[in-house]
A and B are shown apart, each in its own frame.
Chain A
Amino acid sequence: MTITRHDHAPGDAEEASGAHSTRSTLIIYLTGLFLAVVLTATSFWVANTSILWSTGVPLGLSVLAIAQMGIHLVFFLHITTGPDDTNNVLALAFGILIVILVVAGSLWIMTDLNQNMVLPAELMDLHMQH
């Protein structure tokens, strides 16, 4: 006997169509929009205010951005942790892994190069970092 398990298409909301389902999906979209607006507004406020400790601002902005991307994934793309969504989540996890490797790896290597490669003065003029 095979276990039948129906996968969930990415971006698909609930299967059943009907007035009730439409309304609950609408509430999901509205919640997503509300949270995204709040997070975006907070991001712009954090970037422009002078109240906060300025060294912590980039970190705070990154956290807000990651939170908002999560909001978009859950409320707009309907990616959930349900068993019918495993394939989509696994693909997403692999994508995130590659993104982190590319971004963090590049930044790490290039920062290291900038610190350790001491160029002659005339080349530094051409390079003109900062």
Chain B
Amino acid sequence: MNITVALDGHVQDHTAAPATGASHASKRIVVTYGFWIFLLSDIVMFSALFAAYSTLSRATAGGPSGAQLFDQVGVAIETACLLASSFTCGLMSLAIGSRRFGTTYLYALLTFALGGVFLALELREFAHMIAIGAAPQRSAFLSAFFALVGCHGLHVAVGLIWLLVMMVQVKVRRFSAAVERRLLCFALFWHALDIVWVWLFTVVYLIGVNQ
């Protein structure tokens, strides 16, 4: 559509073809807008977990504190993995836009692998903490930590499953309009998880260790 609307004046350029169903947004816009609302509500849920963590971050009940438990090198690697997978997810969106199958699969595989490494590192960190007695039931601080970081990890796990399902759909139904909409929603979800992780590593791992 090539319709320009001058905001101050009343100049309208209707050189393009007459708008079909001008008052209706396309399904693609409606679907992704709805998903955008869901993502924002998900972030509001995360904010409650963040508030709980910030409130309880010093309530260690004599147990280990964040400064003693957290390994910054591991967190830096996790951050790099998630950021890189967000980038490859963006490249995958580009490949979908230009209808290239092989490239789409390549970037989907990279996104999946990087997300998988992130999840594996996080689970290893959890296992290590539980092994040395820093389990969720040890203190309010650890309960809040596992709830917050675990919830993010659960989202990443769901995202990985979703990506697998989408790849099967691309295989079976090619780039149909419905599949493309779902892939767009997946990209939104994956980028939003990265945004939550930026917030998370700053609050939990960087500021928490400094206190």
Q: Which residues of A contact B (CB under 8 A)?
A: 1-13, 17, 21-22, 25-26, 29, 32-33, 36-37, 40, 43-44, 46-48, 54, 57-58, 61-62, 64-65, 68-69, 72-73, 76-77, 83, 87-88, 91-92, 94-95, 98-99, 102-103, 105-107, 110, 127-130
Contact = CB atoms under 8 A, between A and B. Distances in A.
A128 B59 contact: yes
B172 interface: no
Contact of B206 (A47, A95, A128): A47
Contacts of B41: 95
A102 B48 contact: yes
4 nearest A-B residue pairs (beta carbon) = A95-B40, A106-B51, A65-B202, A47-B206
Contact of B94 (A1, A4, A29, A77): A29
Contacts, number: 166
Interface of B: 1, 3, 5, 7, 12, 19, 22-23, 25-26, 28-29, 31-33, 35-37, 40-41, 43-44, 47-48, 50-52, 54-55, 58-62, 72, 76, 79-80, 83, 86-87, 90-91, 93-94, 97-98, 184-185, 187-188, 191-192, 194-195, 198-199, 201-203, 206-207, 209-211
Contact of A107 (B51, B72, B184, B192): B51
Contacts of A13: 93-94, 97
B156 to A, nearest CB: 16
Contact of B32 (A12, A33, A54): A12
A92 B52 CA distance: 22
Given A37-B83, A110-B55, A103 B50 contact: yes
A95 to B, nearest CB: 4
A95 B97 CA distance: 29
A67 to B, nearest CB: 10
A43 B191 CA distance: 19
A4 B210 contact: no
Contacts of A99: 43-44, 47
A69 B33 CA distance: 20
A76 B199 CA distance: 16
Name which of B1, B54, B207 has the most chain A CB atoms within 10 A of its CB: B207
A28 B97 CA distance: 15
B188 A11 contact: yes
